[in-house]
């Protein structure tokens, strides 16, 4: 890795302001999925290190919550500035450890930093309320106070932004934090800790435990000092963490799996719809929770849309994310490739037809050809499961009533998208879709100002916006009497 700022490449856990190895001395290798090269060796930590981090956070949080909001804000602002000054190096770390193209990795750094910038400002706007009391001798005061020590667990697909989307609001309101990044992508998390320390964040407020997810997660969910667990990842692991957290009645933030419908009505601007489908489906090689997972095209424009989309997909350059012009990197590992192959084979066995792609790329390793399948039906796995790869299954539909029923026929409810120019149709469909987020005439909806999150089995809570701040606050009602 050819970094300008070598200090960013950290390979130890970060606990109470110290860079430490695992108690056991055990380690994990970090590999570049585009080359299979080992790029770092990091500690394999467990419950004991997690306990020490929780205690460090508990002690640090008592002082941090008393710091004036403006001081917390200034330190977050400095962290934001340092991240943007180191954007190129941080982007290279992302591409090396998980494969996304450098252009997308640069975008993720700016996106992740935007949450720190946003919450640096929001830190100064945690307002309480007074409420007219039922009797003249009383006053009702409502305070908002930080939850305390929070623990975060994050996935590999956005190894920077999924962390800042949690840590920034938590620190802004006066919480102390632990993070457990995915074992595939610890380096981005450690680089964030390095820059937080340079920004002047006091020790103990941010702790990064690398290693055994079951042991670390087990301590985070069982330890009563941890008052909130915030998780981004698969719905299956989210269910498990929810169960484990119930013994100590923890607050939960869950950003889970998706199965996004992408709907094209026959009155849509087809070129705009194709552009939206390209970014919604093939961003991060289809490895985002809000990727279009099912594309529904009204029967009158089905063939025209399929033809236009295929022309764009065939232009996509697949390769090492560090190489010029590459817009599709490798999938995270061979397990991901096997899941994509299973979905493609299942669709073909049930009557689907390949329009383009459909198999492993000639580059080998975990590269897969950008794929479109047509004549897809609801009996196929691509209709019910999150593919998490560069495969666009095209379903046909008759009218709004038909497609709304198909789109809502899933246990997931994260993101959804549709293209239409008729305002009556726009309002009706947006109101009827059972999802936490709806993109209308766009395929890209994520930003720091908006409440990101899902309904049904896609999660609990919201991240980003003023709503994301509330997720790290407790309400306290103070009743003043004898006034
Ligand atoms: N809703 C969102 O914002 C969002 C964002 C990104 C990814 N995701 C979802 O995440 C999934 C892909 O990411 P993934 O494969 O890394 O998910 P994953 O659930 O396998 O892993 C996510 C994190 O959980 C940890 N983990 C795994 N098992 C654990 C356990 N038993 N105890 C504690 N921690 C454990 C992992 O180490 C990792 O840090 C997809 O389903 C995707 O939709 C959702
Ligand atoms: O996949 C997870 C991210 O939340 C996707 S996004 O960049 O926030 O849209």
Q: What is the dihedral of CA 52, 54, 58, 61, to 10 degrees?
A: 110
The answer to whether 406 and 397 have CB atoms below 8 angstroms apart is yes
Secondary structure class of 278 (helix, strand, coil): helix
The answer to whether 321 and 34 have CB atoms below 8 angstroms apart is yes
* Mean pLDDT within 324-334: 98
Ligand 2 atom nearest 446 alpha carbon: 9
pLDDT tens-digit readout, 140-160: 999 999 999 999 999 999 999
Map tokens 């994260």 to a residue.
414
pLDDT tens-digit readout, 31-74: 999 999 999 999 999 999 999 999 999 999 999 999 999 999 99
pLDDT tens-digit readout, 427-445: 999 999 999 999 999 999 9
Cα(395)–Cα(392) distance, rounded to whole angstroms?
Answer: 10
Map tokens 């890209």 to a residue.
444
**283 Cβ contact partners less than 8 Å away, ≥ 6 residues apart:** 104, 291, 444
pLDDT of residue 23: 98
Q: Whose CA is nearest to atom 9 of ligand 2?
A: 446
**Cα–Cα nearest to 297, from 289, 288, 306:** 306
Where is 11: in which H helix or E strand? none
Distance 444 CA to ligand 2 centre (A): 10
Ligand 2 atom nearest 157 alpha carbon: 1
Map tokens 């889970």 to a residue.
256
pLDDT tens-digit readout, 377-422: 999 999 999 999 999 999 999 999 999 999 999 999 999 999 999 9
Cα(419)–Cα(439) distance, rounded to whole angstroms?
Answer: 9
Dig out the tokens for 171 from the structure. 């620190």
Cα(298)–Cα(35) distance, rounded to whole angstroms?
Answer: 41
Query: Using a 6 Å cutoff on CB, does residue 458 contact ligand 2?
Result: no
pLDDT of residue 1: 87
Task: Report the catalytic residues.
Answer: 255
* Mean pLDDT within 356-372: 98
DSSP 8-state secondary structure symbol assigned to residue 250 = -
Q: Point out the ligand nearest to the CA of residue 153.
A: 1
Backbone torsions φ then ψ of 118, nearest 5 degrees = -60, -45
Distance 300 CA to ligand 2 centre (A): 32
Helices (H), 123-212: 161-173, 186-198
Residues shown for the chain: 483
**Cα–Cα nearest to 210, from 46, 69, 352:** 46
The interface predicted TM-score of the complex, written ipTM, equals 0.96
Ligand 2 atom nearest 283 alpha carbon: 7
Cα(119)–Cα(100) distance, rounded to whole angstroms?
Answer: 27
Cα(264)–Cα(403) distance, rounded to whole angstroms?
Answer: 10
| Mean pLDDT over each residue of the chain, to the nearest integer | 98
Q: Specify the pTM.
A: 0.98
Distance 106 CA to ligand 2 centre (A): 14
pLDDT band at 359, cuts 50/70/90?
very high
Q: Per-residue pLDDT for 331 more than 90?
A: yes
Q: Per-residue pLDDT for 202 more than 90?
A: yes
**9 Cβ contact partners less than 8 Å away, ≥ 6 residues apart:** 1, 3, 40, 93, 187, 191
Cα(335)–Cα(368) distance, rounded to whole angstroms?
Answer: 12
pLDDT tens-digit readout, 97-135: 999 999 999 999 999 999 999 999 999 999 999 999 999
Nearest 5°: CA angle at 285, between 330 and 96?
A: 45
Ligand 2 atom nearest 111 alpha carbon: 7
Distance 154 CA to ligand 1 centre (A): 6
Q: Whose CA is nearest to atom 3 of ligand 1?
A: 255
Distance 422 CA to ligand 1 centre (A): 38
Kindly list the protein residues whose Cβ atom lies closer than 6 A to any atom of ligand 1: 153-157, 162, 180, 182-183, 213-214, 217, 232-234, 237, 240, 255-258, 289, 386, 388, 414, 459
The answer to whether 269 and 421 have CB atoms below 8 angstroms apart is yes
Backbone torsions φ then ψ of 123, nearest 5 degrees = -55, -30
The answer to whether 448 and 227 have CB atoms below 8 angstroms apart is no
* Mean pLDDT within 241-264: 98
Dig out the tokens for 131 from the structure. 């409420």
pLDDT of residue 455: 98
pLDDT of residue 60: 99
């Amino acid at each position: 890795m050819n970094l300008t700022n070598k200090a960013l490449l950290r390979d130890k856990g970060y606990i109470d302001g110290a860079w430490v190895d695992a108690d056991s001395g055990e380690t994990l290798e970090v590999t570049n999925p585009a080359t299979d090269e080992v790029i770092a060796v990091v500690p394999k930590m467990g419950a004991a290190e997690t306990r020490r981090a929780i205690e460090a956070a508990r002690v640090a949080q008592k002082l941090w919550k008393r710091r004036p909001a403006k001081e917390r804000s200034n330190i977050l602002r400095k962290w934001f500035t340092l991240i943007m000054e180191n954007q190129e190096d941080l982007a290279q770390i992302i591409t090396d450890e998980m494969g996304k193209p450098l252009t997308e990795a640069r975008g993720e750094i700016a996106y992740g930093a935007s949450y720190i910038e946003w919450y640096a400002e929001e830190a100064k706007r945690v307002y309480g309320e007074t409420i007219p009391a039922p009797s003249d001798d009383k006053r009702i005061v409502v305070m908002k106070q930080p939850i305390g020590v929070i623990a975060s667990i994050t996935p590999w697909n956005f190894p920077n932004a999924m962390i800042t989307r949690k840590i920034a609001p938590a620190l802004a309101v006066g919480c102390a934090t632990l993070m457990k990044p995915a074992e595939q992508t610890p380096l981005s998390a450690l680089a964030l800790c390095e820059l937080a320390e340079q920004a002047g964040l006091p020790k103990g407020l941010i702790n990064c435990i690398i290693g055994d997810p079951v042991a670390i997660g087990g301590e985070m969910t069982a330890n009563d000092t941890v008052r909130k667990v915030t998780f981004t990842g698969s719905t299956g692991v989210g269910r498990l963490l929810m169960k484990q957290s119930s013994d100590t009645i923890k607050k939960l933030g869950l950003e889970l799996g998706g199965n996004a419908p992408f709907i094209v009505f026959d009155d849509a601007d087809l070129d705009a719809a194709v552009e939206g489908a390209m970014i919604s489906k093939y961003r991060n090689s289809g490895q985002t929770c809000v990727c279009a997972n099912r594309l529904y095209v009204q029967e009158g424009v089905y063939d025209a849309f399929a033809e236009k989309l295929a022309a764009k997909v065939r232009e996509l350059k697949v390769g090492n994310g560090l190489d010029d012009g590459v817009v599709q990197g490798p999938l995270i590992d061979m397990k991901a490739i096997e899941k994509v192959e299973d979905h493609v084979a299942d669709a073909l066995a049930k009557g689907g037809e390949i329009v383009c792609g459909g198999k492993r790329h000639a580059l080998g390793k975990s590269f897969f050809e950008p794929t479109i399948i047509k004549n897809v039906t609801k009996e196929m796995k691509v209709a019910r499961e999150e593919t998490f790869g560069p495969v666009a299954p095209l379903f046909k539909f008759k009218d709004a009533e038909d497609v709304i029923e198909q789109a809502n026929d899933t246990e997931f409810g994260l993101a959804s998208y549709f293209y239409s120019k008729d305002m009556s149709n726009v309002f009706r469909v947006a109101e009827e879709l059972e999802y936490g987020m709806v993109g209308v005439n766009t395929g890209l909806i994520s930003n720091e100002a908006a409440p990101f999150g899902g309904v049904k089995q896609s999660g609990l809570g919201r991240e980003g916006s003023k709503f994301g701040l509330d997720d790290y606050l407790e309400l306290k009602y103070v009743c003043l009497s004898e006034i």
